[in-house]
Chains A and B, each alone.
Chain A
Amino acid sequence: MSRRLSRRFPVLAGSVPWLLFVSVLYLFAEVVMIQLEGLGGIGLGDARTRIGGGILVISCLIHGSSRVISAHPAFDDGYRGWLMGVPWTNRKRLPFLPVEMVWEDVVVVGWFILLAKTLPVSIAPWLVVAWLTANLVMLGWSFFLTRTTGFCYLTALGLGFAIHSIRQQYVSLAILAATYVVAYEGLKRALDAFPWEPRKLPNLSTNVQITDLSSDVHGLVGSSGHAGWPYERMLGQVIDPRGISRPDAILITLLAMFWLYVLSSLLPNHLDRAVPAAFVFMIVSWAAPLIRLGIYTSGYENPLSPLGRIATFRLVIPRHDVVCLTPLCAGLAGVLVLLAFRRFAPLEIVLPIATAVVVLVTLLGPPSLRRWRLTGGHRLAIGVQKNNRDFVEAG
């Protein structure tokens, strides 16, 4: 009976333990708060709203995000591999859980809203906002993984607008609903394009993506193969350096700038709004250029020691030292933008722009990672592999 039920209503069946757990937790918190009120005769109305409401909001966030994570094949290698082996296409429903919102989700959120009725203040819209936000964040992430990048940016933009108008609950809800419609279309397109190899984040390791293999070789090499020193450095890292494209860099920067503005605008005080933006600018203007420098120079070292430079009167080695130029310019450009525009616009706007300039110059400044690795005036070195237990020395 229960098996039939879970087959018919998989989302609901999967959510029941969660619903029970949250209900017990919520009721326990409520009972404790009521007891405290009775004992002390103190008004804990606000506190009670916060604790009970907090539990429900967090529950909605968790449920909204877990719905996508548990259902989308992009998040599960095993599931994705299995799907590739069966005759599934997007014309059929996904065999286990649907990724998109279904009526059973409405039941789950409705149950939370019902529980929230015991609170002195209505938080129903907040619960829906929380569920939708978490769901959209994970859908946006799935678009990144499935290379449906345009919808990833659109979702992030919609979420930004929704957060910006968070004080007007119903406006925020309307924006989230509109964003969901866009994300739904993105989800359909992503599943239409199945099968895909999920995109990996850029990293500092010596992984090389090995694709386009016949299945027998693929089975042995795996999705990423380490070929050790010197093969990774000589070839692995220049075949697919996982660089970022120019349009992506520009869009990511604009979105980051917008989000920085959105988050700082949540603060009520006009003056306070510049504080988080200033904090982020200070961190980014140092960290972004340094991270770039780290990625470029890890395993690609100075061809001559500082002492050697002095002794040979080669204080500057242009083909090598060019690697420092973009990081320097990035930090400098951010400061210049800040100084130039602070008189014309409020800091809460100028600071995100300056931060965006730092990020943009860091991402797009020459030389490209591949050009540097192939033609830079560096010395190839073992780098992190030497102190890594994943590698052994031969010879």
Chain B
Amino acid sequence: MPGKNNSVPKVQRFVAILWPSFVVSGIATVLFFTAFDPDEVIGCVGGWDISRMGYYSVGFFLFWLLTSLNSVLTCYFLKPCSKS
């Protein structure tokens, strides 16, 4: 695997990171915004003047950022340590 790792096409690595995180962030977005109405939450602390649709979208991409970070770390730790 270590030697072969470079032969994995770049596209596959991107998809392996972005695709599962996309799916999970979709689920997370639904659960989160079912429990919390952005208008009410933001109304308490004061926020930007954007629509609910905007909050949902921003929320989705924030989740996607976090979940892909997770995938990146998983991929990173999958690499075996170099044996010196």
Q: Are chains A and B native binding partners rather than an unrelated pairing?
A: no
Give me the interface of B with A, judged by CB distance under 8 Å.
Answer: none
Give me the interface of A with B, judged by CB distance under 8 Å.
Answer: none
